[in-house]
Each structure stands twice: as structure tokens, then as C-alpha cells.
Amino acid sequence: MRPSSAHWDRVYAAGDATVSWAQDHPAPSLRAIAGTGIAPEAPVIDVGGGSSALAGELLDAGHTDVTVLDLSANALALAKERLGGRGDAVEWIVADLLAWTPARTYALWHNRAVLHFFRCEDDRAAYADRVREAVAPGGHAIVATFAPDGPPTCSGLPVRRSSSDDVLRLLGPAFVELHAFTEQHVTPGRKTQPFCWLVARRRSDG
């Protein structure tokens, strides 16, 4: 069973200084996004963004249409508070991703450290459905997940590790790989977590 909103609200209730996925600066995400060449006004959604600094970094880079979706209201509150008055420039969505229906399409879907919590085939298929519903033809999907040699658990929960090829197969033939790479993420506790990243483009006719 995938983790509930109550679980993640408890995780974020005391802040996020020690959560294993924390990054002071989301450099791999920013490099991957910049590599797609999307326009600053193109709509971007950070799925499972939690309290990440990515939304603020995107605003700093000139992006004007940024959405963050997460299951935890506590996580999004932390992220919005850090942005101060700029927080109103971001659309914040508290929702269960697998039950969410996108109200519009996006030029870019970014998701770091969420897919590996979806372990069963039905949940993974639902994840791929959300990507296909949310990403416009010609748009991009960036997905980062624990690599095959990554940890077997995260936040006390079992995970399903994947290669970039696994993720591409999951997204289906509508997506083509543009770039894939491995990141050695160092946690606040100084442990190393290998992540696999996939940058894919949705076919214009897909």
C-alpha cells in the first residue's frame, strides 16, 4: 500500500532539515529542466514537490507558470512560507497524485523521489496515466527515482527501484528518451543514494 497523506504530514510536521531527500540547491533538476529548452512562460508542474526549493529556483530563473503538487499540506506550507510574498506566484495543489485529474496540460512534468513509492503494477500504471494526461504533445517529462542499486526503503517505507529504461517503458511509446543519467545524492545524514534520471519528450502526435 502506498503512503498516506497522514504519513507525509507527520514527516513534515517538524520541518524537513533531516529528511533524506532534502537538497539545499536542486541542481540536477535545474540542469535537466534547462536542457529541455522550454520557454520561461511554459507551464511547469513539480509533482510530489513537497517542501523543495525548486519552485523558488524556477521563479528566479524567470519561469512564470509554476505549479507544485503534493500529498502533504504541511510540506507545501513549508515551501510556500520560504518564498514569502513570492509564494502567491506559484499554484499549490494538495492532492493524491494517482487520484488527481489535471485541469490543464503542462509543457513540463518534473518528479523527483515519488515514483519509487508506487510499488504495485496498478499504481505504476496510474502514475503513467497521469503523466500522459498532464503532459501536452511535444512537452517533456523528467522523472528521478531510486536506481536499481539504491536503498530498498525510504522514510521507513519499502520502495521499488527502477532504471531509466524501466521508467521509459512505463511511460509508454508516446515518450522518447532525450537524456538519462545517474545522480549520487548525498543525504543530510551523509549517506549516498543513487538516483536514476530520465528526461523524455512526448511525441507531437502521441
**59 is written with which cell numbers?**
521563479
| Residue-number span of the structural domain to which 196 is assigned | 5-11+24-202
For residue 132, being part of any structural domain is answered with: yes
Give residue 191's pLDDT band: very low, low, confident or very high (50, 70, 90). Answer: confident
For residue 150, being part of any structural domain is answered with: yes
User: Looking at 71-174, which runs of residues are DSSP E strands?
Assistant: 90-94, 106-112, 135-146, 153-154, 157-158
For residue 65, being part of any structural domain is answered with: yes
How many Å apart are CA 18 and CA 13, to the nearest integer?
A: 12
How many Å apart are CA 13 and CA 147, to the nearest integer?
A: 28
For 142, residues 6+ apart whose C-beta sits below 8 A from its C-beta are 29, 32, 33, 36, 108, 109, 110, 111, 197, 198, 199, 200
Give residue 18's pLDDT band: very low, low, confident or very high (50, 70, 90). Answer: low
How many Å apart are CA 73 and CA 66, to the nearest integer?
A: 17
Are β-strands 192-202 and 135-146 bridged in parallel, bridged antiparallel, or unpaired? antiparallel
pTM over 0.95: no
For residue 19, being part of any structural domain is answered with: no
For residue 28, being part of any structural domain is answered with: yes
On the question of pLDDT at 17 being above 60, the answer is: no
Per-residue model confidence (pLDDT) at position 200: 98
Q: Are the C-beta atoms of 56 and 26 separated by less than 8 Å?
A: no
Give residue 24's pLDDT band: very low, low, confident or very high (50, 70, 90). Answer: confident
Per the structure, the count of domains in the chain is 1
For residue 18, being part of any structural domain is answered with: no
Q: Are the C-beta atoms of 71 and 5 separated by less than 8 Å?
A: yes
For residue 100, being part of any structural domain is answered with: yes
For residue 17, being part of any structural domain is answered with: no
Beta bridge partners of 47: 69
The tens digit of pLDDT for each residue in 41-83 reads 999 999 999 889 999 999 999 999 999 999 888 889 989 999 9
For 130, residues 6+ apart whose C-beta sits below 8 A from its C-beta are 47, 97, 98, 100, 102
Mean pLDDT computed over every residue of the chain = 92
H-assigned helices in 37-109: 54-60, 73-83
On the question of pLDDT at 27 being above 90, the answer is: yes
Q: Are the C-beta atoms of 197 and 164 separated by less than 8 Å?
A: yes
Give residue 160's pLDDT band: very low, low, confident or very high (50, 70, 90). Answer: very high
Q: The domain spanning residue 196 has which CATH number?
A: 3.40.50.150
